[in-house]
Amino acid sequence: MRQNTFTRHLAIYQAQFKIWTAVQVQYRVAMIIWLIGIIIEPVVYLVVWSNVATASGGSVGGYDSAGFAAYFIGAMVVNHLTFCWHMWEYDTIIRQGQLSARLLRPMHPIHADLAENLAYKVITSVVVVPTTIVLILIFRPAWQPQVGQMLAFFPALVMAFLIQFFMGWALAMAAFWTTRISAINRIYFLGKLFLAGQLSPLSLLPQRLQSAASISPFRWMLSFPVELLLGRVAGTAVYTGLLAQFIWVTLSLLAVRAIWRAGVRRYSAFGS
Amino acid sequence: MRTFRIIATYFRLGILGELEYRANFFIQIFESILGLVVALGGLAVVFEHTENLGGWSPDQLVALVGIYLLVGGLINMVINPSMERFMQDVRQGTLDFTLVKPADSQLLVSVQRVEIWKLVDVLIGVAVIGIALARLHSSIGWGETAVFAIALFCGATIVYSFWLILATCSFWFVRVENILVIFQSMYSAGRWPVGIYPQWLRFILTFLVPVAFAVTVPAQGLIGQLTSGNLGLAVGLAVALFIIARLFWRYGIRFYSGASA
């Protein structure tokens, strides 16, 4: 029986899923540690901004305490579903030549990482879902979703994931040229902290930073889906936002292809 | 005194070892500046919208950030690397090399690794505190400085004792280092005054993971908001924890079975 490309890739994704389920079940303690890590940051900012709201007569910038609770819990969930970590791994993979093994496979290495990423998220959701419920009970967010924006939320979430994944993978490719990739990664995550809405809702940033966030991919990789989830995007901005996301998905995918081709050529040069 | 000579020796070894890798100095400066941008940038965005956060003014919070960087630098310079090396030694059975040395094993284990470039964090922290104090000059006198120094010393002692107690657990549960990652994550909550957090989180950050005593309490001392009751609590806790850590260490080391046994 001749397998077509689709069944081949499907089998690969299924295999990755099984591997990663087994791995994660082994690392139960590590999961708990990791969980504390991903909820600490949003919870800290949630508390800080709630304090600001209370000190400013109840609300600031259109958010009251319950609004901030909804924003940061929503941001935590969206970030969990969209984040990418592969840029931290490729320095080792390329320097130690492990990439050679991946290049021998009958498919592009990006598929292995994509499958690992998705499998990891599905498995860790088992822990994130009850955690989110507990946070909702503790912080009592106010959530009034708008039907139209909720419909736009799902494609926005998928596109945000793709933007983070492709940008992260393109960043990982920098390891072909330099060993100081962790410095580049840190700058990227610094930008993400401020401009993707992890530190605060973007509407609370100074105007120039808000513009920078909208021009960069950062707003579209995290903040925009959260804004849709909370029903805070007005009218046609929903469509222009989805379009901006689509543009950034395309741009980051093109970047991945270009950088990969240039990098692999350089990598092969060392092998021979 | 012998203790200080031993500490000084390990510091010198740490310096000599790291001077070989001068690039690490520049990497550390880069990372410290990033940390500073995150902390001060966060403050800047918050203070666009308010004059006062939980009773703290902008300059007081800058001083808090400085203390956060200073204490973080001290922890990452000596306590972290030494404790990690210790746990690795227990796992691999190489702790024998430390135990046969003619000095107190707890001392040796605690200062054996010094990552000297983390001094950059300490210096940046001191600079930030200095800048904040310059802007608060009217309200800082010798009394506050003394209270700050005492609170800082007690905070460092509490953190060290807490780490040592956790690390001592590796005599029984060999893979403890995961638990120490929790401290690293929770320490980042110390960038803000612990008083703003809800009751349950404040409790966790004070008595379960002593971030409050490491950062907020010395900061309160510096700006003159530390009650003598809380200062007494900090001193008492520091002394008690140090003694407990010491006793627990003496007890735990009996359970160590080295590679040669």
What ipTM does the predicted assembly reach?
A: 0.88
Confidence of residue A177 (pLDDT cuts 50, 70, 90): confident
List pLDDT tens digits, range B163-179: 899 888 888 876 666 77
Query: How far away is chain B from the Cα of A59, in angstroms, using its nearest Cα?
Result: 10
Confidence of residue B139 (pLDDT cuts 50, 70, 90): low
Q: What CA dihedral angle connects A25, A76, B201 and A37, to 10 degrees?
A: 40
How many other CB atoms are there within 10 angstroms of residue A230's CB atom? 23
With CA atoms as reference, the chain A residue closest to B29 would be A183
Indicate the Cα dihedral angle B100, B101, B107, B108, nearest 10°. -100
Q: Which residues of A touch B186 (CB under 8 A)?
A: 36, 40
| Range in A163-167, A180-184, A222-226, B38-42 the model is least confident about | A180-184
In degrees, to the nearest 5, what angle opens at C-alpha A182 toward C-alphas B64 and B186? Answer: 35
- B260 is a domain residue: no
CA dihedral A250→A254→A259→A260, nearest 10 degrees, is: 100
Closest CA to A260 of A180, A163, A171: A171
**Range with lowest mean pLDDT among A26-30, A138-142, B73-77, B100-104:** A26-30
Mean pLDDT of B63-67: 94
Mean pLDDT for chain B? 87
Q: Which amino acid is at B154?
A: C
Question: Most A CBs within 10 Å: which of B51, B177, B181, as the mutation test of the A interface?
Answer: B181
> What's the number of domains chain B is made of?
1
Report CA-CA distances (Å) from A235 to A75, A144, A240, B138.
22, 16, 10, 52
A62 chain-B contacts, CB cut-off 8 A: none
Task: Give CA–CA dist A69/A143, Å, rounded.
Answer: 9
Q: How many residues does chain A have?
A: 272
pLDDT of residue B100: 86
- Please answer yes or no on whether A33 and B201 come within 8 Å at the CB atom: no
Out of B175, B178, B192, whose CB is closest to A48?
B192
Quick one: average pLDDT of A148-164?
A: 94
Predicted confidence at residue B235, as pLDDT, reads 93
What is d(CA B186, CA A107) in angstroms, rounded to the nearest whole number?
41
Rg (alpha carbons) of chain B, rounded to whole number: 19
**Share of chain A residues as helix, strand and coil, in percent rounded to the nearest 5:** 80, 0, 20
Task: Identify the residue among A29, A31, A48 best suited for mutation to test binding to B, counting B beta carbons within 10 A and taking the highest.
Answer: A48
Helices (H), B75-187: 80-92, 96-99, 105-111, 119-135, 142-168, 177-187
What is the per-residue pLDDT for A8?
78
CB-based contact (8 Å) between A204 and chain B? Answer: yes
Phi, psi of A166 (to 5 degrees): -70, -40
Q: Is the pLDDT of residue B196 over 70?
A: yes
Residues of A in contact with B182 (CB under 8 A): 33, 36
Helix runs in A173-236, H state only: 181-195, 207-215, 218, 224-229
Mutating which of B30, B49, B169, B205 best tests the A interface, going by the most A Cβ atoms within 10 A? B49
Find the length of chain B: 261
Which one has a higher pLDDT value, A27 or B6? Answer: B6
Does B214 have pLDDT greater than 80?
yes
Other beta carbons within 10 Å of A92: 12
State residue A64 phi and psi, 5-degree precision. -100, -175
Average pLDDT over residues B187-211: 91
Q: What is the pLDDT of residue B222?
A: 87
- Residue ranges making up the domain that contains B152: 2-255
Q: Output the pLDDT for position A214.
A: 93
Q: Cα(B143)–Cα(A241) distance, rounded to whole angstroms?
A: 56
Is residue B261 domain-resident?
no
The answer to whether residues B48 and B101 touch, using CB atoms and an 8 Å cutoff, is: no
Verify whether the Cβ–Cβ distance B50 to A55 is below 8 Å: yes
B4 pLDDT exceeds 50? yes
**Which are the contacts of B44, defined by CB distance < 8 A and separation ≥ 6?**
none
Q: What distance in Å separates the CA atoms of residue A188 and residue A243, rounded to the nearest whole number? A: 23
Instruction: Name all contacts of B172-180 with Cβ < 8 Å and 24+ positions apart.
Output: B172/B252, B172/B255, B174/B90, B174/B91, B175/A29, B175/B91, B176/B87, B177/B84, B177/B87, B178/A29, B178/A30, B178/A33, B179/A29, B179/A33, B180/B83, B180/B84
pLDDT of residue B258: 66
Choice between B44 and A9, residue whose per-residue pLDDT is larger = B44
Round to whole Å and give the CA distance between A150 and A141: 17
The mean-pLDDT minimum among A63-72, A105-114, A220-229, B167-176 falls in B167-176
The predicted pLDDT at position A272 comes to 45
pTM: 0.88
Per-residue pLDDT band for A2 (boundaries 50, 70, 90) equals low
The predicted-structure confidence for A232-265, as pLDDT tens digits, reads as follows 988 899 999 999 999 999 999 999 999 999 988 8
Residues 6+ apart with CB under 8 A from A242: A152, A155, A156, A159
Pick the range with the lowest mean pLDDT from A30-39, B29-38, B102-111: A30-39
**CA A165 to CA A113: how far, in whole Å?**
9
In a domain, B176, yes or no: yes
**Cα angle A171, A176, A178; round to 5:** 85
